[in-house]
Amino acid sequence: GGIASVSRFRGTLVGAVLGDCLGGEFEGAEEVPMDRVLQHLTGLDQDSRGDCILQYSDDTAMTRCVVQSLLTRGEFDQQDMAHRFAEEYRQAPGRGYGSGVIQVLRKLLSPRLSDVFQPARAQFGGRGSFGNGGAMRVAPFALAFRNLPDVKRYARLGAMLTHSCSLGYNGAVLQALAVHFSLQGALATPQVFINRLISEMEVVESEDRARNDARALSEPEFPFCARLHRVKDLMERNTVSIEEVISELGNGIAALHSVPTAIFCVLHCLEPRAGLPEQYGGLERTVAYCLALGGDTDTIACMAGAIAGAHYGVDAIPRSWQRCCEGAEEAEAWADRLHMLYHQLPPEG
């Protein structure tokens, strides 16, 4: 589809749900041979009766809250979004939430709470969470806001409801930027895409808070930019092993160890790759590759699925995969509504 087409919107949300549902099988696994991944994915094609339903986890549960809040309020409403996160957790606490964030979600349920950002600020002795929970649910912000400054501003605020460490919320900003640029067709020129991400993140990470947090966590200055430079280096190589990707970029639960990884997976899988079936299109390659990394597979595949889905559009996603994933159908319907909202907004300028 064309730039910001309905197919790209559907691809974004369906790709995210799929990554979460398909990646759940391997979350936390240390080594995942590609054979096992392909067996898992081939099983979906063979499920003609449609009785294999893979449930979504916290990644999708929270993304759904973001979508519903943005659609219902027509803008970013922090009280409403926080309330939806808390209610969703109360109703379905078993979706595999991070062990820290559940304290925030419990506090957000309190009717006496006046500042909805306060519980997140109290996390980890006041340092805040650097987990990837803000990034895993951020894609709808790139679909609801058209202007780049708005995408950055609201992605950050939406993440800060649970993640007050800059390494948490800046991971969400980076993921939102990746979806935003992908929606605009920027992945047609991968070098331009990665360079734009780096130059945007240079501004984002120049803030005092980001510099202080990086120092406190013994990370280099501009930690996301540093990882994006590693992505660039890996892109220039002819062959890269899974082990090298994990050691250079990470596959863990921290936003710093997973958002640049998800971006690399999308870029790497733009081309056919050895070890991946020839008949696979780019989105299928991306999901399979994310799963083979092991570690935080549901979240890395969810984030990469959103970026890849925004690039390839929904028609690139096998129907047999969609049928097996809880929430995929609804994601498509919500993407249509976000698409209408997006095109009512003034164009980027």
Binding mask 226-255 for ligand F2R (x = CB under 6 A): ---------------------------x--
Nearest distance, CB of residue 296 and ligand F2R, angstroms: 4
270 with 235: CB under 8 angstroms?
A: no
Q: Of the ranges 110-118, 271-279, 294-302, 320-328, which one interacts with ligand F2R (CB under 6 A)?
A: 294-302
42 with 284: CB under 8 angstroms?
A: no
Residue 98 touches which of ligand F2R, Mg ion, none (CB < 5 to 8 A by kind)?
A: ligand F2R
Residue 166 tokens read as 């800059």
Per rule CB under 6 A, is residue 88 in the interface with ligand F2R? no
* 111 residue type, one letter: P
Nearest distance, CB of residue 203 and ligand F2R, angstroms: 24
Per rule CB under 5 A, is residue 88 in the interface with Mg ion? no
Per rule CB under 5 A, is residue 164 in the interface with Mg ion? no
Per rule CB under 6 A, is residue 127 in the interface with ligand F2R? yes
| Residues from 290 through 309 that contact Mg ion (CB under 5 A) | 296, 298-299
Nearest of 96, 113, 114 to residue 299 by alpha carbon: 96
CA distance to 117, 309, 316, per residue, from 65 (Å): 17, 20, 26
Nearest of 146, 185, 150, 183 to residue 346 by alpha carbon: 146
Nearest distance, CB of residue 123 and ligand F2R, angstroms: 6
Residue 205 touches which of ligand F2R, Mg ion, none (CB < 5 to 8 A by kind)?
A: none
Per rule CB under 6 A, is residue 295 in the interface with ligand F2R? no
Q: Which residues pair with 254 in a beta bridge?
A: 131
Q: What is the 3-state secondary structure (H, E, C) of 178-236?
A: HHHHHHCCHHHCHHHHHHHHHHHHHHHCCCHHHHHHHHHCCCCCCHHHHHHHHHHHHHC
**CA gap 14, 5 in Å, rounded:** 14
174 with 197: CB under 8 angstroms?
A: yes
Per rule CB under 6 A, is residue 164 in the interface with ligand F2R? no
* 253 residue type, one letter: I
Report the Cα–Cα distance between both ends of the chain, in Å, rounded: 22
Residue 270 tokens read as 């733009």
Nearest distance, CB of residue 299 and ligand F2R, angstroms: 4
**CA gap 158, 63 in Å, rounded:** 11
**CA gap 25, 310 in Å, rounded:** 24
| Residues from 51 through 70 that contact Mg ion (CB under 5 A) | 57-59
Binds ligand F2R by CB under 6 A, chosen from 26, 85, 130, 264: 130
Which lies closer to ligand F2R via its Cβ, residue 4 or residue 214? 214
Count of beta carbons in the 10 Å neighbourhood of residue 46: 9
Per rule CB under 6 A, is residue 170 in the interface with ligand F2R? no
Per rule CB under 6 A, is residue 82 in the interface with ligand F2R? no
Per rule CB under 6 A, is residue 219 in the interface with ligand F2R? no
Per rule CB under 6 A, is residue 55 in the interface with ligand F2R? no
Q: Is 158 helix (H, G, I), strand (E, B) or coil?
A: helix
Q: How many residues of this chain interact with ligand F2R, rule: CB under 6 A? A: 24
Per rule CB under 6 A, is residue 215 in the interface with ligand F2R? no
Angle, CA 177 vertex, CA 175 and CA 178 arms, to 5°: 65
DSSP state, 325? B
Nearest distance, CB of residue 23 and ligand F2R, angstroms: 9
Per rule CB under 5 A, is residue 129 in the interface with Mg ion? no
Binding site for ligand F2R (CB under 6 A): 27-28, 57-59, 96-101, 124, 127, 129-133, 136, 165, 253, 296, 298-299
Binding site for Mg ion (CB under 5 A): 57-59, 96, 296, 298-299
